[in-house]
A and B are shown apart, each in its own frame.
Chain A
Amino acid sequence: MEKWDVVVVGGGPGGSYAAKTAAEAGLKTVFFERGRKPGDKNSSGCGLGQRWWKDYPELMEELQKLPSVRKVEMVVINLIDEHDRLRYRCGTTGSDLCANRWPHGMDGISIYRKDLDPFLADLAVKAGAELRTSTLVNDVIMENGQVRGVKTEKGESILAEVVIAADGAMSTMAKKSGMRDRWGGGCTLVPQLDFGCNADKMDDIIGNAEWCWFGPLYGTYQVNFRDGFHIGAGQWLRSDWDEKPLEMMKKVVKIPGFQAMCRAVEAKPREYQAHMLPWLKKPPKTYTGGMMLVGDAAGFPCPLEAEGIWHAITSGKIAAETAAWAISRGDASEKALAEYERRWKASDLGKEHEFGPEFVDLWNSSIFDPKLMARQIQLLLEFSMLHPFSIVFDWGDAHMDCFNQHLEHILDLAPEFSEFGKTYVAPLARGIWPKNVKRILLKVKPKIPALRRLSDENFFKVVARLSKGLAPYLDPSIRQDAPVPRDVFERGVRK
């Protein structure tokens, strides 16, 4: 029987990067892809954000040269009300103060996966991994409860010291090894419609920007490529669905503002797809004896916006490094591979998931609640009128009167959102760094006669005693530039 150090299932971003890392570590590595070539069966995430420049700068240098790329230097948000009217459009490039984190400005890229996936797979092959395409892996080989290898549809049995499952949202490996059955409500279905366009007109009209169309009836992103774009709208797969995916897409393409944009860039429908995308409060267990899950198979996409390619390659890298470590110690048991979870939790990937439950709850109870969303649009529109550029265009009355009327509307609307704010927004306050809370408190200190003479240190002690809400931030033992640890925050709330 064939035997490898590492068998990787899946030739998407996670699988290719795991295979590359394993091969570079000197491990005998093979990776399997069911498509005729990597990218044929892609799961269609195409936007790479600014953090790629920080973590994978060499990749970004090369990727931005590929043919389908359009840069993302701006995000444009179109708010559509329940009558399909465009009510608000805003765009931002971020300020120059962000330059320390975004050395290249706000420049992500959008790239079709027929460009990205083969590029990444090629890196793995160049590093020495073997790629087998048009091959479906359909089972695991188990021995004493530990994964020892995989079986392909062609009847081959292939042994491995370690299996890395990078087989996407509907992971066969996770199922066959008994790690999980279904996601149980944590997975979204994303119907997606692609359009071919006139590339020059896209440059002129859309520019280097990502767009979205939000409103009570839809939450739709628009990813723009060199000569086309696609729109998609995800929804959690639960029993409360009231609409078929195609009906939702049909509604979006009827928005007059969307149709106007389509005419301007000569957009023609080109491809329809439907994809699964895990969007979880918390990834379930990511390892078992002899096997680690990476990328979508592990449920890693970001709990706030479900970006997942960075997560796939980052977890692929950590899994392959852990495989090298385990193989060198001659132990790939479940106990040994717990090291994988320790490593990803300690990395930026772990940080990304720290607010998973809060983010998912926030989405579930806002954008998927049409009534609340309609009211939120009203609130946003009122706020938008206080904006210095908007208030000068409110010519309804003397400008100070206009200002006060908008302020009154906000005060009228606010109580409706207080329950929502308490339940879904307040828990996110845990994420404010203690050092920023302290900066705000120090601004207030001189205005409190009884306290203003205290040293800063004693001032914080008094505030912590007076306010149970602020006490967690002032706990001297916690890190200043990280969210307040969950247990410290909750202890504060309960006190």
Chain B
Amino acid sequence: MSLDNIDFFELVKRVDTDKMGDFIKYDREKCNGCGLCALVCSFGLWAVKQNKAKLAVRYQELCLECGACAEICEPGAIDFSYPAGGTGVIIEYG
């Protein structure tokens, strides 16, 4: 992998993504369309269209479990918990 062209998606390990459950909940009513979730998400899992945010459908397969989207969402439209125990991202080199 060349340093000018790193495939970041390839650099994340996960286990049992099908058993992770729905750990990010979005409340459309509370969303003000500010777009900050889309700005801070490493993998672009949020998009804002017509003043409302939308989370990628199969976000479990790409999410880094960082929680940044929920932390930056001022009106509290994003509720982040963690995926089911024993599933999801494995940090080998952290």
CA gap between A135 and B83 in the complex, in Å: 10
How would residues 44 to 68 of chain B score, 1 for a CB under 8 Å from any chain A CB and 0 otherwise? 1000000000000000000011111
Contacts of A279-299 to chain B: CB distance below 8 A: none
Contacts of A368-397 to chain B: CB distance below 8 A: none
How would residues 468 to 482 of chain A score, 1 for a CB under 8 Å from any chain B CB and 0 otherwise? 000000000000000
Which residue of chain A has the shortest Cβ distance to B63 in the bound complex? A274
CA gap between A238 and B64 in the complex, in Å: 19
A133 at the interface (CB under 8 A from B): yes
User: In the assembled complex, which residues on chain B have CB atoms less than 8 Å from the CB atom of A112?
Assistant: 92-94
Check if B36 sits within 8 Å of A228, measured CB to CB. no
A93 at the interface (CB under 8 A from B): no
A453 at the interface (CB under 8 A from B): no
User: What's the tally of chain B residues with a CB closer than 8 Å to chain A?
Assistant: 41
Knowing A244-B40, A246-B42, A262-B3 are in contact, say whether A138-B81 is a contact too (CB < 8 A): yes
Max count, chain B CB within 10 A of own CB: residue among A136, A172, A241: A136
Check if B92 sits within 8 Å of A271, measured CB to CB. yes
How would residues 8 to 44 of chain A score, 1 for a CB under 8 Å from any chain B CB and 0 otherwise? 0000000000000000000000000011100111111
Which residue of chain A has the shortest Cβ distance to B5 in the bound complex? A250
User: What's the tally of chain A residues with a CB closer than 8 Å to chain B?
Assistant: 56
User: In the assembled complex, which residues on chain B have CB atoms less than 8 Å from the CB atom of A245?
Assistant: 40, 42
Check if B85 sits within 8 Å of A250, measured CB to CB. no
A191 at the interface (CB under 8 A from B): yes
Which residue of chain B has the shortest Cβ distance to A136 in the bound complex? B85
A182 at the interface (CB under 8 A from B): yes
Which residue of chain A has the shortest Cβ distance to B73 in the bound complex? A182
Check if A239 sits within 8 Å of B64, measured CB to CB. no
Contacts of A110-130 to chain B: CB distance below 8 A: 112-114
Max count, chain B CB within 10 A of own CB: residue among A41, A138, A153: A41
Check if A40 sits within 8 Å of B91, measured CB to CB. yes
User: In the assembled complex, which residues on chain B have CB atoms less than 8 Å from the CB atom of A192?
Assistant: 94
Contacts of A229-254 to chain B: CB distance below 8 A: 230, 237-239, 241, 244-246, 249-250, 253-254
User: In the assembled complex, which residues on chain A have CB atoms less than 8 Å from the CB atom of B76?
Assistant: 181-182
The distance from the CB of B30 to the nearest CB of chain A, in whole angstroms, is 13
Max count, chain A CB within 10 A of own CB: residue among B34, B68, B70, B76: B68
The distance from the CB of A246 to the nearest CB of chain B, in whole angstroms, is 5
How would residues 3 to 23 of chain B score, 1 for a CB under 8 Å from any chain A CB and 0 otherwise? 110101001110100000000
A435 at the interface (CB under 8 A from B): no
User: In the assembled complex, which residues on chain B have CB atoms less than 8 Å from the CB atom of A51?
Assistant: none
User: In the assembled complex, which residues on chain B have CB atoms less than 8 Å from the CB atom of A46?
Assistant: 94
User: In the assembled complex, which residues on chain B have CB atoms less than 8 Å from the CB atom of A230?
Assistant: 93-94
CA gap between A153 and B74 in the complex, in Å: 27
Check if A276 sits within 8 Å of B6, measured CB to CB. no
User: In the assembled complex, which residues on chain A have CB atoms less than 8 Å from the CB atom of B81?
Assistant: 136, 138, 172
A270 at the interface (CB under 8 A from B): yes
Knowing A269-B6, A271-B11, A272-B11 are in contact, say whether A189-B82 is a contact too (CB < 8 A): no
CA gap between A133 and B84 in the complex, in Å: 11
Q: Which residues of A contact B (CB under 8 A)?
A: 34-36, 39-44, 46, 112-114, 133-136, 138, 153, 169-170, 172, 181-183, 187, 189, 191-194, 196, 228, 230, 237-239, 241, 244-246, 249-250, 253-254, 259, 262, 268-276
Q: Which residues of B contact A (CB under 8 A)?
A: 1, 3-4, 6, 8, 11-13, 15, 34, 36, 39-44, 64-68, 70-72, 74, 76, 80-86, 88-94
